[in-house]
């Protein structure tokens, strides 16, 4: 069989995206973001995002096909994010993808968006070695996953118990007066700060809680500790050293993620760690993971920034994996699942 050509469609949050992948080759990758429309509200407003998806859907898909020099009839299958994500946003992408699949008589796969973040690294690094571990860090998810077979079997090793890393950054950013999204601002300021200036706790790493949850993540206490410290300085009429606050926060979060990921690799005898999700664009996290990987003899695969944030390429790539593995397409009337479990790869 020749390499499958898959159109991938993504609409879980505030990016409408479409891409075409043939085998392991990215032929086109189009992303329209409604981020600026949410900035004045300090977060994503689902109703605004859903409307933006409805407006951007046809232009995104049309451009992805045009950039690849293809018609809809040239693709072998359509893949679309069916969850997890914002229900209204998912509904726009899924109903659009179903309409295309029905009109062109193509099989459709409703895929797990988070597993897409793992699959996409194949475009840059090639196939997965056996016993690969994946660390997914995004606005809403921090998960450590064991990838036995990206098309058929993924196990959850650790997960977020409260705030994900991205949420923690956004909440501290708001406190420091940075516009939404806060992550890039914290990243920039952290590069000029002292990562040891403030003692920031490392969630779920110490004592009984740490022993009970060796691979789980909790960043809500980290956010609270930083907030209390900043409020204390402000109440005392002292300057808040913004660069140092950002550097200390970024270092604490990156250290916890790197340490737990390496412990997971050790547990599973894994020599490869795949990293994905929007938060993996953070430069402190990238540096820390590479440093820890070198120390523990683990190859850390962090894709280029455009493949970290939500995109259609990750959906299309997982679609290719499903087609190649002979997994049956989703039923034409499959439902969206805004809380899709990590162990479910496709609907």
Binding-site members for Fe cation are 113, 117, 310
| Residues in binding site for substrate | 136-140, 170, 183, 187, 282
Q: How many C-beta atoms lie closer than 10 Å to residue 43's C-beta?
A: 15
| Residues in binding site | 113, 117, 136-140, 170, 183, 187, 282, 310
Q: Which of 321, 317, 312, 347 is nearest to 12 (CA)?
A: 312
Q: Which of 187, 138, 175 is nearest to 160 (CA)?
A: 138
Q: CA-CA distances (angstroms) from residue 101 to 8, 134, 222, 330?
A: 12, 31, 45, 11
Return all residues near 180 (Cβ < 8 A) that are at least 6 apart. 38, 39, 41, 42, 43, 170, 173, 174
Q: Are strands 15-22 and 132-137 parallel, antiparallel or unpaired?
A: unpaired
Tokens 């162990």 sit on residue: 343
Q: What angle do CA 285, 14, 60 make, to 5 degrees?
A: 110
CA 84 – CA 295 distance, rounded (Å): 34
Let me know: does 164 contact 216? Beta carbons within 8 Å.
no
Q: Which helix (H) or strand (E) holds 95?
A: helix 87-104
Looking at residue 217, the DSSP 8-state letter turns out to be: B
Q: What angle do CA 215, 191, 141 make, to 5 degrees?
A: 30
């Amino acid at each position: 069989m020749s390499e499958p050509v898959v159109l991938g469609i993504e609409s879980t949050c505030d990016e409408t995206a479409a891409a075409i992948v043939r085998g392991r080759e990215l032929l086109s990758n189009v992303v329209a973001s409604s981020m600026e429309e949410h900035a004045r509200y300090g977060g994503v407003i689902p109703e605004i995002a859903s409307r933006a998806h409805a407006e951007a859907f046809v232009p995104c898909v049309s451009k992805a096909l045009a950039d690849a020099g293809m018609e809809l009839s040239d693709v072998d299958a359509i893949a679309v994010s069916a969850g997890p994500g914002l229900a209204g946003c998912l509904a726009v992408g899924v109903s659009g993808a179903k309409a295309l699949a029905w009109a062109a008589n193509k099989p459709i796969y409703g895929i797990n968006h988070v597993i897409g973040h793992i699959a996409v690294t194949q475009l840059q690094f090639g196939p997965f070695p056996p016993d690969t571990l994946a660390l997914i860090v995004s606005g809403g998810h921090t998960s450590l996953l064991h990838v036995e077979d990206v098309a058929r079997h993924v196990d959850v090793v650790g997960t977020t118990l409260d705030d994900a890393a991205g949420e923690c950054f956004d909440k501290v950013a708001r406190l420091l007066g940075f516009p939404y999204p806060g992550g890039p601002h914290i990243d920039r300021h952290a590069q000029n700060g002292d990562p040891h200036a403030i003692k920031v706790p490392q969630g779920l790493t110490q004592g009984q809680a740490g022993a009970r949850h060796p691979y789980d993540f909790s960043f809500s206490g980290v956010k609270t500790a930083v907030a209390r410290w900043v409020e204390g300085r402000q109440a005392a009429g002292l300057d808040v050293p913004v660069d140092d606050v950002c550097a200390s926060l970024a270092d604490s979060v990156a250290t916890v993620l790197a340490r737990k990921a390496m412990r997971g690799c050790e547990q599973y005898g894994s020599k490869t760690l795949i990293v994905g999700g929007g938060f993996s664009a953070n430069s402190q996290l990238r540096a820390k993971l590479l440093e820890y990987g070198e120390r523990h003899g683990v190859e850390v695969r962090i894709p280029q920034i455009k493949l970290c944030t939500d995109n259609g390429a990750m959906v299309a790539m997982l679609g290719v994996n499903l087609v190649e593995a002979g997994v049956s397409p989703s039923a034409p009337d499959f439902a969206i699942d805004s809380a899709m479990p990590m162990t479910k790869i496709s609907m």
